[in-house]
Amino acid sequence: MSAALGTEVIWHDVECASYGADLPLWEELATSGDGTILDLGCGTGRVTLHLADRGHEVIGLDRDGILLAALRERAGELAVETVHADARKFVLKRPVALALAPMQTLQLLEGSEDRIACLRGVAAALAPEGRFAAAILEEMPPPDDSPPPLPDLREVDGWVYSSLAVEAAVGPDEIIIHRLRQIVSPAGELDEEPNRVRIETFSATQLEEEAATVGLMPIERHRIGPTDIHVGSTVVVLGKGPE
């Protein structure tokens, strides 16, 4: 086992860090405004570090202190601040011009009440005329004849970590992503365990309606296309009016 990285950080990197299809859009939104950016559910900093490396001041918020510690170490001298808090109940010390919820972060919350609590916190954190952009998966695409996706892989100090999405179980208002996690030691020993993530599904229109209850109005929508191993998503952009 790597002495430098714990398994929680490694698995987050394996399953999230390689995704980059959304980064051009976040960069476009960041450069269209002027001010600090909030990255909700930032994890180890996939989006936070990308934007900070391009000169933006970014606040990374996550409820997992271990992932935030990895982000702080990786940020070095970049203009990155971390906030250890739950997205449903957080208060920032200063307003932000743009808040982002990448990779279906809002869909990890349970139910409309939790989403509205998060949206209320975002509305309070935004500066006048600030914007909030959230990526959501409205529905799974129908199956086709494409070959199954390859596993996400990462090697750390001779240990090989593999995560394979084996099933996306679609139910009423939810998608359960089932993954098989495998670790191969430097000696070739195999250890594996199942992993599941629940994503609550809702439409972009529903999100806009929920946001309106806290004073966030719809501005525009964007589409992030699918990749070989990731489905596409809808990005809902909401705005806070002048005070």
| Whole-number Å distance between alpha carbons of 195 and 190 | 16
d(CA 243, CA 205): 25
Q: Which residues pair with 89 in a beta bridge?
A: 86
Domains in the chain, CATH or no CATH each: 7-139+201-240 (3.40.50.150), 152-199 (2.20.25)
Residue 62 has a CB neighbour count (10 Å cut-off) of 25
**105: which residues sit within 8 A by CB, 6+ positions away?**
40, 41, 87, 134, 135
pLDDT values of the chain reduced to their tens digit, one per residue, 243 residues:
343 568 999 999 999 999 999 999 999 999 988 899 999 999 999 999 999 999 999 999 999 999 999 999 999 999 999 999 999 999 999 999 999 999 999 999 999 999 999 999 999 999 999 999 999 999 887 776 777 778 999 999 999 999 999 988 999 999 999 999 999 999 999 999 999 999 999 999 999 999 999 999 999 999 999 988 788 999 999 998 776
Q: Are 50 and 29 in contact, with CB atoms under 8 Å apart?
A: no
Amino acid identity of residue 123, one-letter, is A
Q: Which pLDDT does position 2 carry in this prediction?
A: 41
| Surface-to-core class of residue 193, CB atoms within 10 Å of its CB (0-12 exposed, 13-18 middle, 19+ buried) | exposed
| pLDDT value, residue 29 | 97
CB 60 within 8 A of CB 42: yes
Predicted confidence at residue 1, as pLDDT, reads 35
Q: Output the six-digit token pair for 213.
A: 């209850």
Name the nearest CA neighbour of 133 among 1, 238, 3: 238
CA 80 to CA 74: how far, in whole Å?
A: 10
pLDDT at 112: 97
